[in-house]
């Protein structure tokens, strides 16, 4: 494996961090907890009580006093005084007796250990403990009050994504209402005179818009985003200006495709300047997607993605996602994971090279053969892409970004 050029590798992250420093998260709102899945927490979630709230049994078995177990190793027989079930208040354990207990039930007052049913012989009236005192410790099979967390402790920090796993904590410790970031409003503008809609009859010099449907599908996988509009824009400066003016009041972020390169019909940079926007980066050392642009207009994030489909997909994932996450209310960005290629060529580029891959059943990835950033078929066959640093080659491991 050849070694990467670190300054070029870091250029993309530097551009993202520079942009993120100018973005403020959207406001918070209180919504019913059962509707909060997929949103970002506005405030830290604190435990409103200990977990467990009292000592509970970790097993189905019998609650007893340790001091009443045989020291000699002989079985200990005790009458069964009662049954303790989950959801019932704790009862008292009489001396020289046992209480049958089920997993999650409150440990009886006076009991200091629980013996599993598997270690007993049971009848309807008494239980024989097959273990000696030396085989049972104080607190055996008891989950202590507060051992998971104590009242007032932080369960989830602000900015946490309320995943299905996080929702279990929110339901257990939260109130009926939960403070979350409101959904991020996004508008998608696809520039290009050559574009037609899906299903339209097209001439050879026209193409059906694939970038808009890709971005719409991608954004719709994120419950914390609301795509409020998607429209096509003609390749003229007045049309691009008009589209930005119309979109900016309704959007926290605008994703544009096309119009950011060096051609005579690439009007997005001029439109942003004409409206008083500030361009923070334009053109990065990456392939595909080098012309990508980041700007702010009237507190709205503008991300200008190149027009070719693979470029749109890659730059949306690598650059767009962390910026949208910052706006959405989290700094725990979705990080790529390291992944080995099943096999690799010795090709290199003097910039960050994002190469389409498909995952293998063995847990590695293989390169997807493609014919450039306009190859929709190779894009459709991929599960994501790896980031090969400038001047590097080989099997990696490389950073893997899933779609």
pLDDT digits (tens, 9 = 90+) for 267-306: 999 999 999 999 999 999 999 999 999 999 999 999 999 9
Angle at 289 between CA 272 and CA 328, to 5 degrees: 65
Cβ proximity of 121 and 70 under 8 Å? no
Query: Does one domain contain both 310 and 207?
Result: yes
Q: How high does pLDDT run on average in the chain?
A: 93
Q: How many CB atoms lie within 10 A of CB 102?
A: 17
State the DSSP string of 257-290. ES--SSSTT--HHHHHHHTT-EEEEE--SEES-T
Q: Is residue 1 part of a domain?
A: no
Query: Does one domain contain both 312 and 235?
Result: yes
Query: Does one domain contain both 125 and 193?
Result: no
Query: Does one domain contain both 201 and 304?
Result: yes
> Can you give the pLDDT at residue 134?
93
Query: Does one domain contain both 39 and 60?
Result: no
Instruction: Report the length, in residues, of the chain.
Output: 403
Query: Does one domain contain both 169 and 297?
Result: no
Overall domain count for the chain: 4
Residue 389 has pLDDT above 80, yes or no: yes
CATH classification at residue 269: 3.40.980.10
Half-sphere exposure of 215 (CA within 13 A, CB side): 34
Q: Is residue 73 part of a domain?
A: yes
For residues 52 and 143, what is the distance between their CA atoms, to the nearest angstrom? 7
Is residue 169 helix, strand or coil?
A: helix
Residue 109 has pLDDT above 90, yes or no: yes
CATH classification at residue 111: 2.170.190.11
> Can you give the pLDDT at residue 100?
98
Residue 117's φ and ψ, nearest 5 degrees, are -60, -30
In this prediction, what percent of the chain has a pLDDT beyond 70?
A: 96
> Can you give the pLDDT at residue 3?
47
Residues 360-385, mean pLDDT to the nearest whole number = 91
Residue written as token pair 């119009």: 259
Nearest to 240 by CA among 205, 189, 299, 283: 189
List pLDDT tens digits, range 6-63: 565 589 999 999 999 999 999 999 999 999 999 999 999 999 999 999 999 999 999 9
For residues 90 and 73, what is the distance between their CA atoms, to the nearest angstrom? 30
Query: Does one domain contain both 226 and 307?
Result: yes
CA distances from 181 to 60, 265, 385 (A): 42, 38, 30
Query: Does one domain contain both 289 and 316?
Result: yes
Q: E-assigned strands of 37-148?
A: 45-46, 56-57, 61-64, 76-84, 98-101, 113-116, 120-122, 126-129, 142-143
Torsion sign (Cα): 385, 386, 389, 395:
negative
By CB neighbour count within 10 A (0-12 exposed, 13-18 middle, 19+ buried), where does 136 fall?
A: buried
Q: Backbone dihedral region of 96: left (phi > 0), alpha (psi from -120 to 50 degrees) or beta?
A: left
* Residue-number span of the structural domain to which 341 is assigned: 337-402
Here the tokens at position 213 are 């449907």
Q: Is residue 262 part of a domain?
A: yes
CA distances from 387 to 323, 343, 370 (A): 18, 15, 16
CATH classification at residue 36: 3.90.105.10
Query: Does one domain contain both 126 and 157?
Result: no
For residues 57 and 399, what is the distance between their CA atoms, to the nearest angstrom? 44
In this prediction, what percent of the chain has a pLDDT beyond 90?
A: 84
Give the end-to-end CA distance of the chain in Å, rounded to a whole number. Answer: 26
For helices 6-20 and 321-328, angle between their N-to-C axes, nearest 10 degrees: 30
Query: Does one domain contain both 305 and 386?
Result: no
Query: Does one domain contain both 164 and 277?
Result: no
Here the tokens at position 100 are 């049958």
Cβ proximity of 352 and 287 under 8 Å? yes
CA distances from 85 to 62, 261, 323 (A): 11, 69, 50
Pairing assessment for the beta strands 184-191 and 253-257 based on DSSP bridges: parallel
pTM of the model: 0.88
Domain edge (last residue) among 303, 328, 353: 328
């Amino acid at each position: 494996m050849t070694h990467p050029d670190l300054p070029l590798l870091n250029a993309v992250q530097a551009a993202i961090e520079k942009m993120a420093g100018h973005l403020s998260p959207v406001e918070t709102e209180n919504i019913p907890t059962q509707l909060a899945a997929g949103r970002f927490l506005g405030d830290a979630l604190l435990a409103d009580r200990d977990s467990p709230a009292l000592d509970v049994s970790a097993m189905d078995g019998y609650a007893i006093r340790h001091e009443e177990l045989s020291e000699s190793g002989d079985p200990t027989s005790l009458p069964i005084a009662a049954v303790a079930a989950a959801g019932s208040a704790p009862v008292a354990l009489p001396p020289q007796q046992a209480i049958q207990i089920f997993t999650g039930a409150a440990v009886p007052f006076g009991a200091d250990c629980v013996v599993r049913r598997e270690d007993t012989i049971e009848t309807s009236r008494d239980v024989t403990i097959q273990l000696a005192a030396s085989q049972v410790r104080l607190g055996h099979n008891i989950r202590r009050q507060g051992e998971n967390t104590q009242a007032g402790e932080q369960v989830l920090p602000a900015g946490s994504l309320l995943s299905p796993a996080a929702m279990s904590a929110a339901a257990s410790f939260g109130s009926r209402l939960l403070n979350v970031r409101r959904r991020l409003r996004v508008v998608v503008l696809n520039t290009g005179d050559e574009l037609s809609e899906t299903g339209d009859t097209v001439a050879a010099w026209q193409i059906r818009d694939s970038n808009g449907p890709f971005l719409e599908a991608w954004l719709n996988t994120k419950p914390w985003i609301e795509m409020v509009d998607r429209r096509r824009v003609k390749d003229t400066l007045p049309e691009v200006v008009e589209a930005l003016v119309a979109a900016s009041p309704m959007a926290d972020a605008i994703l544009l495709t096309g119009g950011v390169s060096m051609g005579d019909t690439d009007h997005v940079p001029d439109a942003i300047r004409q409206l008083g926007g500030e361009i923070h980066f334009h053109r990065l050392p990456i392939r595909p997607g080098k012309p990508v642009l980041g700007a702010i207009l009237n507190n709205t994030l503008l991300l200008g993605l190149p027009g070719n489909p693979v470029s749109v997909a890659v730059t949306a994932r690598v650059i767009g996602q962390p910026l949208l996450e910052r706006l959405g209310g989290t700094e725990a960005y979705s990080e790529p994971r390291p992944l080995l290629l099943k096999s690799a060529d010795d090709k290199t580029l003097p910039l960050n090279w994002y190469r389409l891959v498909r995952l293998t059943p063995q847990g590695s990835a293989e390169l997807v053969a493609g014919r450039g950033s306009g190859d929709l078929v190779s894009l459709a066959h991929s599960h994501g892409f790896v980031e090969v640093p400038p001047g590097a080659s080989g099997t990696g491991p490389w950073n893997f970004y899933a779609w």
